[in-house]
Chains A and B, each alone.
Chain A
């Protein structure tokens, strides 16, 4: 008998999530492990912490975190410095009022940085225009947010008719 859809999918999500969280080191190839070694440190930790605050998620994909950090640093020379300033602002507790950005005019660069970080997590894209780099697709949070109902385009949903059910 085919097991219930919900329980199996949830089991896979938990399995996948646990795998990604717990086995990050095993997922990275030699080249990324080397980069991970170079990049690991307070900068990456600060980025991950700020990302958690902005996305409201306690658990973020460590491989994606690394890839975004790497790409954002390449895109902005003083990324770590800007990160530190943003972290400080967020720590004051007024910049995000009820899940909406409330930066003051003076904090415009930090707002822009927050937007760039969120764009990276949600759309998997870092940079703009011809310099835009795609870092993630399947794991982009815009896809994850609707994953209960939609599969990211170019990945199969299921057999004929399986898409008829109203969510």
Chain B
């Protein structure tokens, strides 16, 4: 009887406590607000919200990864469809170890490798926000199902053992409070390295090349080390902070794709002191040059000059221009010049950027992605919008792979100081979501080889046995 009561009473007490906890607020407003700010810095909303009016944090965004499509989960406090039943420990484990409440690992599309740096008080504040600061959405997000064998989540445990560092921020001496704060935000909440650090064969971040640039889906997250030509060595800290707040540095660069999203939802809402700290830290990184963009040694910024080739196409007629040797110039004039100027100079006061002195036209990928996907970036300064030219319903014009390649070559040569090396196949790769990783094929081939080896081994053993018996 005593044993029974010993078991029942805690359960009953637990139930009573849970019920009362559900009925009253567990967290104070200040903690929830701190959690909201950290969630903004961590940009949870960008991945965990579907485009075109998805409910905030309710998941459903399909992200194209090199091994297949990953769908974000509902992280609202819905008990049936979200994380409403998560304890704080389970929340912390998901965030910092990439382990769900049911014990299954998450895919590192969720940047738990970076969030592993978050401190306990910050995780607590985030928990408070997600439990009581986010409206519950009673709608399930679709499941992720990657192709075999990537759908075997248990393999992630091996990956985590190899590549997840539970203490990713090394102890340091003699660093200022601003630098430490900047590192905490950049390497932790803002997870810059998730996009900007190149990855190895098993898709792990190459820490020795931290922030040196990486292809992420359709866009290229550029080199943001302070390298003088390949990176942002020519930017001051104040300029970098301004870029994070507005997404734009006139005569240098502007954010599009996922970075535009990060500016819109995250960086533009951070306090100036935090932006300054991030800039201070980023500018202190070791400079690295991967040799990715343009001519070796040529700076990414300050390239190109105004000019046009209208003499080639004016007066001939559009069809002749599109069929002739100046396809790139004709496509530019017909589609781009209206905003970016007949000579690539943009508008007065640079509202539409010039295409020279613009890092977007240096190197291939981001120029192609900008053409196909456009730019959509909202900050306190306004809503920057360049329409897409791909296959979207709102494409201003649907350009073919051949037309985009000719256009990219025209812009790259005229305004980006580059060469004319873009091919229609390059456009097709970006159009379908970005380069595919060989990892999937490698894994399948590796498994097939493993099976064959096992079969061969079994066959040999069986033959040997038979041989022994027969002898």
Contact = CB atoms under 8 A, between A and B. Distances in A.
Contacts of B342: 138, 152, 155
A12 interface: yes
A15 B341 CA distance: 14
B309 A156 contact: no
B351 interface: yes
Interface string B304-325: 0111111110110000000001
B355 to A, nearest CB: 12
Contacts of B305: 15, 19
A29 B420 CA distance: 14
Given A15-B306, A66-B311, A159-B351, A31 B382 contact: no
A19 B347 contact: no
B187 interface: no
Contacts of B351: 158-159, 162
B428 interface: no
Contact of B306 (A8, A12, A64, A154): A12
B338 A154 contact: yes
Contacts of B350: 2, 8
B349 A16 contact: no
B337 A32 contact: no
Interface string A93-137: 000000000000000000000000000000010000000011111
A145 B325 CA distance: 32
B107 interface: no
Interface residues of A, number: 38
A137 B314 contact: yes
A44 interface: no
A9 B311 contact: no
B93 interface: no
A22 to B, nearest CB: 11
Given A66-B311, A157-B347, 8 more contacts: A5-B348, A12-B306, A15-B306, A27-B307, A134-B315, A135-B314, A152-B342, A156-B339
The list of the 6 closest CB pairs from A to B, nearest first, reads A159-B351, A138-B342, A158-B347, A63-B311, A16-B306, A134-B315
A67 B352 contact: no
- Interface hub of B325, B350, B352, B382 (most chain A Cβ within 10 A): B350
B382 A134 contact: no
A162 B343 contact: no
Contacts of A16: 306-307, 343, 345
Contact of A27 (B309, B314, B352): B309
Interface string A56-74: 0000000110110001000
Q: Is the interface of B mostly helix, strand, loop or mixed?
A: loop
B345 A29 contact: no
Contacts of A23: 307
Contacts, number: 84
Nearest to A139: B310
A20 B351 CA distance: 24
B326 interface: yes
A5 B347 CA distance: 10
Nearest to A126: B315
B132 interface: no
A162 B315 contact: no
A162 B348 contact: yes
A93 B350 CA distance: 45
Contacts of B352: 156, 158
A84 B199 CA distance: 69
A27 B311 contact: yes
Given A3-B250, A155-B337, A29 B325 contact: yes
Nearest to B315: A134
B309 A29 contact: yes
Contacts of A159: 347, 349, 351, 382
28 contacts: A2-B350, A3-B250, A5-B349, A8-B349, A9-B348, A16-B306, A16-B345, A19-B306, A19-B307, A31-B325, A63-B311, A67-B314, A136-B310, A136-B311, A137-B310, A155-B337, A155-B338, A156-B339, A156-B352, A158-B347, A158-B349, A158-B352, A159-B347, A159-B349, A159-B351, A159-B382, A162-B347, A162-B351
A154 to B, nearest CB: 6
B349 A2 contact: yes
B314 A134 contact: yes
A136 B345 contact: no
A71 B311 CA distance: 12
B250 A2 contact: yes
A140 to B, nearest CB: 10
Contact of B347 (A3, A29, A136, A156): A156
Contacts of B307: 16, 19-20, 23, 27
Nearest to A2: B349
A28 B311 contact: yes
B326 A29 contact: yes
Given A157-B347, A158-B348, A30 B325 contact: yes
Contacts of A12: 306, 345, 354
